[in-house]
Amino acid sequence: MKIWTLLLACCVVCLFYQASNATGFTNPLATMDVVQGFGGTHIGTDLDGNAGDAVYAIADGKVFYYRSNVSGYGGGGGEGCPAVNGSVIFIRHRKADGSYFIAQYGHIRNVPSDLRYTGFNFNGPSVAKGQQIAEIGIFNPCRDCGPRCDHLHFGIWNSNDKIPSNQWGYGPACWSTPVVGCWVNPITFLQNESPYAIYSCSWHTQDPNNIVTMHAGQTRTFTVSYTNTGTTTWQNTGGVSNPKYIELRSCNSSGTVVNSWLYPGAPPWINRQRVVSQNATNVQPGQNAWFIFTGRVPTTATPGDYHIYFRPYHATGGYIQIWDFRNFYIRVVGQGKIVSDEFVDIPKSFTLSQNYPNPFNPQTAISYSIAEPCHVTLTIYNILGEKAATLVDEQQEAGEYSINWDATNNASGIYFYCLKAGQSQEIKKMVLMK
C-alpha cells in the first residue's frame, strides 16, 4: 500500500484505506497524497491511490446519486484516456451546525448494490461514517495519459438544500468563503468545517473552585485562559463574520446563553453576554487565548454564593461542546462582617499596579499590596500562556511590595503578570521591547 504524505491537522473520519485492512479507517487529511488540487475546471481534488483501495464514507449521510460507467471524467481521466468500470457516487453529509454538504467520490468501482441510488435527491439510502462505499477504479492507461494513475476524485458541494448543477461535478466554483450552492476546495473545507474540524478547549489560569469574595457594587478583574485543543485557528477580530472568531458567552449551568450578572458596560465586553479575548489574534491549536475582563457585582445583589458561567463560542463551530461547565464561584458579603464579636471592615487594599516602565527593556518593577497575611504568588506568562518566570511564591505579611523582573533572557513581545494572594487574583499586561 502506498504511504500517504500529506500531514494536516484534522481528525476522525477517512476516505480510503487499503482494501485488505478494511476493518480500520484513519484521518483523510493525514493519509492522502494530493496529486491535483482544486482549480480551473477541475472541481475537486485528486487523491492518489491504487486500484482496489477501499473508499470509505467520511461521515454519516445519505446517498444523493450514483452513476455507473461514466464516460470521460466520471471513470477515466479525460483527454481520451479510458477507465475500466468508472463510476461516481454523491453522498449528502451533515455538519455539526446542522447544515449539509455533498461529497463526490469519483473514478471508483464495485459500489454495493444497495447504494446504487439514481434519484438525484435527498432521499437515498443511509451510510455510516467509515462504511466502505466503493474501491478506487482502474485506469488504463494512467490519468491524462501521463504520470498520474489510479486515484480518487474527491469533491465538495456546499449544498445545504441546493442541488448540484449536474451529475458529475461541473458548475459554480467558490474559491474562498464556502458559499451555499457552489463547489469548494475540499482540502480547505475539511480543515475548517465540521465534522472534520474539532472545536474544543480546556480551561486554566483561575481555579473555579476558589471562592472569590466580593461585596455588592464592587468591581474586580477576572482572568481565564482557554487552550485551543481543536484543529482550527482562533481569532479575536472581525466579529462573528470572521469564520475563525472566538469569544466567551455568558451562560447558565446548562450552557444556555443568558445575560451576565457581572456585566459592567465597558470593554472588553460587547454586551451583557459577550467577552472578547485579549490576545487571540491568531491562536493556533495547542495555544492559549486569554480573556481578561472587569466585572461588577450589582449594587442590589443579596449576600450569598453565586456561580457565574462562561462558554466559548466559535463563529464556525458554534458553542464549543467541550467546556466542562466551568464557572467563577463568587461569594457576596455585606460591607462589613463579624469577627470575634467585633465588626471590622472587609479588606479593600489588595492592589496590583501597572509595571513601570512599560514598555520596558530589559527590567521592570511590579508593585502590589495585600491586606492580610497570606500565600502570594507572582507569575509571568508569555502570549501563549506559557510560564516565563515565577517572581514570588511564599507566605507574606500585609503590606506593600515591589519586585523587579529582569527579562534579559526573554524574547520581545507581550507578557502577562498574574498576582494571587489568598483568594484574590489579578492580572495585567506588559510589553518587552528590545
Which sequence spans correspond to the domains of the chain?
A: 16-192, 201-345, 351-432
**Residue 253 pLDDT:** 87
Interval 211-233 mean pLDDT:
80
pLDDT interval class at 2 (50, 70, 90): very low
Helical ranges in 139-283 per DSSP H: 186-192
* Of 194 and 408, the one with more pLDDT: 408
Mean pLDDT in residue range 31-49: 65
Identical fold for domains 16-192 and 201-345, yes or no, is: no
Long-range contacts of 176-183 (CB under 8 A, 24+ apart): 177/243, 180/99, 182/157, 182/158, 183/38, 183/43, 183/44, 183/155, 183/156, 183/157, 183/158
Q: Is 186 left (phi over 0), alpha (psi -120 to 50) or beta?
A: alpha
Q: Indicate the SS3 state at residue 398.
A: coil
pLDDT digits (tens, 9 = 90+) for 72-129: 444 433 333 444 447 889 999 877 566 788 988 888 888 999 999 999 999 999 988 7
Q: Are 215 and 335 in contact (CB under 8 A)?
A: yes
- When the pLDDT of each residue in the chain is averaged and rounded to a whole number, the result is 75
- On the question of pLDDT at 26 being above 50, the answer is no
Q: What is the DSSP letter of 395?
A: E
What homologous superfamily is domain 16-192 in, according to CATH?
Answer: Glucose Permease (Domain IIA) (2.70.70.10)
Say how far apart CA 62 and CA 54 lie, in whole Å. Answer: 19
Stated pTM of the model: 0.47
Per CATH, the architecture of 201-345 is what? Sandwich (2.60)
Q: Are 175 and 132 in contact (CB under 8 A)?
A: no
Q: What distance, in Å, lies between the first and last C-alpha atoms of the chain?
A: 52
- Could you give the CA distance from residue 38 to residue 61 in angstroms, rounded to a whole number? 23
How many Cα neighbours within 13 Å face the side chain of 118? 4
Pick the CATH number of 351-432 from 2.40.37.10, 1.10.357.10, 2.60.40.2550, 3.40.50.10470: 2.60.40.2550
Dist CA 317 CA 96 (whole Å): 8
More confident residue, 24 or 397: 397
Q: Is 184 helix (H, G, I), strand (E, B) or coil?
A: strand
**In terms of DSSP bridges, do strands 413-421 and 138-139 run parallel, antiparallel, or are they unpaired?**
unpaired
User: Which of 118-132, 139-153, 274-288, 361-375 comes out lowest in average pLDDT?
Assistant: 139-153
Q: Is the pLDDT of residue 266 over 70?
A: yes
